[in-house]
Amino acid sequence: MKRIMFLLIIIIMIFTFSSVQARQSKKEKDFPLGYPFSSWGEIRCQDSDIEESLIGDGYLEQGVDVFESYNWTLTPFIGLRFTQSNDGDHYWNNKVGPWFGVKAKRPFEFFPGSWGEISIGIRGEYYYYTSNERDNDFVAAIFLQWSFGGDWKDLH
């Protein structure tokens, strides 16, 4: 696990520093391109045969857009993922931890008034379990992520 974490950090640093050097060697004024941030979250009350609990679930992310080519933007990022519930026996709902990685992202539009983004990348996810005596976890993940939305009223 330590090898995977070390390898992931090295890959992220190589992508980030090579992109920074490429941008600085071109002497472009717009570096960095941006500081994108995102967040999502929810509080839910579950009542099922498996579990009955109040759960808070969310994520915060901060990135730095360092390089753009062919409408793809390279973005190293850090984030914080958390899930907490009032049921201490459900370890999967009682964890908090940092995420870090690098992704290439591209915006898209299906129709006027719509928006979207697709991302591919690699990230490390570390989890500290807050409710029982479970060992902490580190996971390396390769991901494909998308989001989109819009307003059907704008489709003419």
* Residue 99 near residue 141, CB atoms below 8 Å: no
Taking residues 9-33, report their average pLDDT.
Answer: 62
What pLDDT, in 10s, does the model give residues 90-149? 888 899 999 999 999 999 988 888 899 999 999 999 999 998 778 899 999 999 999 999
Please give the model's pTM, rounded to 2 decimal places: 0.74
7 has pLDDT over 80: no
